[in-house]
Structure 1
Amino acid sequence: MSTPLTYDDIVKNLDDLPSLPAVVMELLNSIDQEEVDISVLAKKVSHDSALTAKTLRLANSSLYGLQVKVTTIQQAITFLGFQTTRNLITAAAVTGCFAEGRCEGFDHKRFWRHSIATAACAKVLARQMRFNQDYAFTAGLLHDIGRLVLVACFPQQYAQAIAHRDAHDCSMLEAERAVLGIDHVDAGMALAEHWNFSDTMRLAIGGHHDPETPGAGFLAAIIHVADAMVHALDLAQMPDGLVPPVSTVAWTALALNEETCLQLFRETELQFGEIAMVLLS
């Protein structure tokens, strides 16, 4: 059995991780600020042609139902608004940021399928709750980002955790704690700190498994329920088909009925297909 890892071990390894384009870091750091010079940001993003292409494909997807075809970042901002465009840029950048295939048993594509499905579901849920859909989408996309940190920094140990999960038929969270001594929530929080995520994002990542923790915030409850719904729908076709237990506190806070749930499922499935096609192609 390997020596348990600590939070400090993660922090020490964060500098070895791939870094996001500078403009994306700027976008993530400014998520809670209203005053941002949009034209300057649009210009900066357009210098990265791959990022621009992916962002515009998302903007033109049926997810947003635009009647016009947008061909520049500035146009996307005009038609979709700054918040939404910032989200799309973040989604396009983060999904292309981590290298694949360094950890035995970890399926990179399935990981992103689950994250994208959670983002889609969180966005639909947020609209239902009259909560900021853009925060929900980004938090849904990044809620499990700590797994990528563990896979990138400690591939051998994480492979052991995956083997442990398969052998003991437990959740990945339990397997991480048993084998590594820490879990992907700890790793996600370390990365959120390192990448200067806003407090809003940090709380959602930190609380998505325990939304009843005091101060976890409403966004954590949305991500928690979206995560469970997506597991139930099995959009990512995960080998560990376990649906995580849903917190009664979070479920009660969202006050969903059966009819609303069915509608959420339908919309999530539709949006997921569209977003996955753009982000994972």
Structure 2
Amino acid sequence: MAGQIQAGAPAAVTGANTLARVEVARNILDLPALPTIVLELMSSFDDPDVDIGRLADAISHDQALTARTLRVANSSFYGLSAKVKTINQAIMMLGFDTVRTLVAAGAIVNVLPAGTGTQRELSQFWRHSMATAVCARNVARRTRLNPEQAFLGGLLHDIGRLVLATRFPRQYGAALAWRDEHDAWQVDAEQQVLGMTHQQVGLMLAEAWRFPPQLLRAIGFHHAPAVDDLGDLASIVHVANAIVHALDLGDADALVPALSGEAWASLRLEGDMLRAIFRETEAQYEEACLILH
């Protein structure tokens, strides 16, 4: 059944396109490191005593981070009544949780490789990622999870696919061809052809970048949340990913991934609540994608 491959599982096949973990790890180490302030911001999701003033000051001293954050904060997606010109103004208008997510997401997206994929392929990747982010935030609002952390988890859940597509385009292309030929789920095709999945590769990257534990699991297990992940961020991203595939938002080429009944039940999404999530995600999707430009 698709989605049951666990991060770190041994390769199941051998062949010309099989990837060795050491080769993938070497390519991940070649990627630029994340700014220290971004690592601090991501760790602060679990810190109830976070020093907002100090972090805001640190963000403001990085001109590139500040410029990207203010551009997104002033986009139509957030619908502010007045233009914000400083990080402190953005925090006052949007709240620290939202600004923290904008800074972290902008920095990570900027560092991730653009690679050799076509513009259409890259656009499709990020549009699916944004759809999952929006849906995950809408799901999290109905649970005890932080909606902004859910947004970040949804945005980054497929970073392993981006690493595969840009660092190993020939091998990844073979996996996609096998997927289409056999009408298979994405993770099954990757395991069959590459000997590892984008979940595993994403987890390796997230570990190298020292992401916090919940985000690690959301990236590494978004197709197969473990028992410990039920009702948690990995379950939210897992369900959001399935929903946006079902709604045909962002990635029309892939099948709807297998849905874990346990993860679904743990979030208690029923009736009007679920219909509201569908409506909100579809309504917010296009404006959210403007952030990517």
- TM (norm. structure 2) is 0.86
Q: Is the 8 Å Cα contact of residues 68 and 106 (structure 2) preserved in structure 1?
A: yes
Of 207, 211, 220, the residue aligned with 2:221 is 207
Per-residue deviation at 1:92?
Answer: 1.9
The number of aligned residues is 278
Please, which runs of 5 or more residues in structure 1 have no aligned partner? none
**Cα distance between partner residues in 1 of 2:16 and 2:241:** 30
Partner of 1:114: 128
**Amino acid of the structure 2 residue aligned with 1:133:** P
Partner of 1:229: 243
Partner of 1:42: 56
Aligned pairs for 1:35-184 within 5 A: 35-103=49-117, 107-184=121-198
Partner of 2:11: none
**Cα distance between partner residues in 2 of 1:131 and 1:30:** 15
Partner of 1:269: 282
| CA distance 1:78–1:221, shift in 2 (3 Å) | same
Per-residue deviation at 1:164?
Answer: 1.4
Percent identical across equivalent pairs? Answer: 48
**Cα distance between partner residues in 1 of 2:101 and 2:179:** 33
SS in 2 for 1:71: coil
Partner of 1:189: 203
Q: Is the 8 Å Cα contact of residues 90 and 99 (structure 2) preserved in structure 1?
A: yes
Of 11, 16, 25, the residue aligned with 2:39 is 25
**Amino acid of the structure 2 residue aligned with 1:110:** Q
**Cα distance between partner residues in 1 of 2:248 and 2:70:** 28
**1:26-72 Cα deviation digits (max 9, x unpaired):** 32244322444433433333344443233223323454444443221
SS in 1 for 2:65: helix
Per-residue deviation at 1:262?
Answer: 2.0
**Amino acid of the structure 2 residue aligned with 1:206:** G
**1:147-194 Cα deviation digits (max 9, x unpaired):** 112223322211211121122221221111111100011111111110
Per-residue deviation at 1:15?
Answer: 1.5
Partner of 2:259: 246
**Cα distance between partner residues in 1 of 2:167 and 2:199:** 15
| CA distance 1:68–1:105, shift in 2 (3 Å) | closer
Partner of 1:260: 273
| CA distance 1:214–1:7, shift in 2 (3 Å) | farther
**Amino acid of the structure 1 residue aligned with 2:237:** I
CA RMSD of aligned residues (A): 2.3
**Amino acid of the structure 1 residue aligned with 2:41:** L
**Cα distance between partner residues in 1 of 2:186 and 2:215:** 22
**Cα distance between partner residues in 2 of 1:169 and 1:276:** 28
Per-residue deviation at 1:261?
Answer: 2.1
**Cα distance between partner residues in 2 of 1:49 and 1:275:** 23
**1:7-41 Cα deviation digits (max 9, x unpaired):** 33322221212443443233224432244443343
- TM (norm. structure 1) is 0.89
